[in-house]
Amino acid sequence: MVSLTSLLTYSRRLLPTLKTQNHAFYTKRSFFLPGPFKRVDGRFLGFGRQSSSTAAKAAEKGEDSFLKWFLLLIPATTFGLGTWQVKRRQWKLKLIDDLTRLTTAEPIPLPLDPYEVNNLEYRRVKVRGRYDHSQELYIMPRSPVDPEREAREAGRLSSSAETGANVITPFHCTDLGITILVNRGFVPRKKIRPETRMKGQVEDEVELVGVVRLTENRKPFVPNNDVERNRWHYRDLEAMAQVTGAVPIFIDADYGSTIPGGPIGGQTRVTLRNEHMQYIITWYGLCAATSYMWYAKFIKKI
């Protein structure tokens, strides 16, 4: 009982102290976190909400500014690609002109030095000698060179051209005393075997004009040459020379060397794909479209 009385007495003394401390706590709280205050027009304005709204607007403005300049990279990049294609087109046109000039120039005698020949690719040369038909090689599959048809069918997945092979025949140059390799031209698939075109197997000494070609590297997805079956898929001069005993010099006989009943000459592909104008139109068109979209979103609305 005495203890209970003492506890009640202590509580009465402690209560005013707690009220004083509690009042001080709320005073401090109201000082650091002020509530809404009244404006002149009578409306209440919350300080905390105003600060949050201002920060959100600032963040949003920063994001819009970043997005604005980031999206400007799209028209800038497409403009750069279009300009690069203009330069590529000029380079391609010059290359085509150079090849056309080389393949239409007056033929020169074939040099004896193979190293000198390596600097004459696509140059027209003239030789005189005899074919060795017993060691024919066949590069296949091939289709006859037709620049007009190839231009019409550019971009198609299939071609309407007849497939066959190019006949590569050792040619002994009587004036030079060496044997070279000559691409006599195209034959359809049904005339690949020599016995099917005996009229074209000339035995006499002939003079022909051809275009110097160098060795090729195997391109991706092109099969390896099958030496045992005599099926060649690309020009490997070292391997062809080793099989036939010729020196690694290769020329494409021109169309004038064609013998009735034999391979069709003139199978040098000098036409290069020139689609740069389409790329120029595409890139500059994208640049114009994206530039207008950027202007309409970020400039016009201002």
Do 264 and 280 lie in one domain? The reply is no
Do 214 and 232 lie in one domain? The reply is yes
Do the domain assignments include residue 50?
Answer: no
Do 130 and 253 lie in one domain? The reply is yes
Instruction: Output the pLDDT for position 60.
Output: 59
Instruction: Output the pLDDT for position 241.
Output: 96
Do 66 and 177 lie in one domain? The reply is no
Do the domain assignments include residue 24?
Answer: no
Do 217 and 252 lie in one domain? The reply is yes
Do the domain assignments include residue 284?
Answer: yes
DSSP, res 180? E
- The two three-digit tokens of residue 106, written as one number: 């007056």
Number of domains, the chain: 2
Do the domain assignments include residue 13?
Answer: no
For residue 32, give every residue at least 6 positions away whose Cβ sits within 8 Å of its Cβ, in sequence order, or none. none
Do 144 and 279 lie in one domain? The reply is no
Do the domain assignments include residue 181?
Answer: yes
Do 244 and 258 lie in one domain? The reply is yes
Do the domain assignments include residue 10?
Answer: no
Question: 183: which strand partners?
Answer: 168, 252
Instruction: Output the pLDDT for position 134.
Output: 95
- Return the residue matching tokens 């007009």: 148
Print the SS3 string covering 211-262: EEECCCCCCCCCCCCECCCCEECCCCHHHHHHHHCCCCCEEEECHHHCCCCC
Do 143 and 235 lie in one domain? The reply is yes
Instruction: Output the pLDDT for position 189.
Output: 94
**Reduced to 3 states, what is the DSSP secondary structure of residue 36?**
coil
Do 135 and 228 lie in one domain? The reply is yes
The rounded average pLDDT for each run of 10 residues, N- to C-terminus, in the chain (302 residues) is 41 45 41 45 48 62 72 91 93 87 90 89 95 96 76 54 92 95 96 94 95 94 95 97 96 94 90 81 94 84 62
Do the domain assignments include residue 77?
Answer: yes
Instruction: Output the pLDDT for position 55.
Output: 65
- Are 137 and 168 in contact by the 8 Å Cβ rule? The answer is yes
Q: Identify the domain containing residue 87 by its residue range.
A: 55-105+271-302
- The two three-digit tokens of residue 80, written as one number: 């750069």
Do 235 and 142 lie in one domain? The reply is yes
φ and ψ at 287, to 5 degrees? -65, -45
Do 144 and 265 lie in one domain? The reply is yes
Do the domain assignments include residue 215?
Answer: yes
- The two three-digit tokens of residue 263, written as one number: 């391979």
pTM to 2 decimal places: 0.65
- Are 208 and 263 in contact by the 8 Å Cβ rule? The answer is no
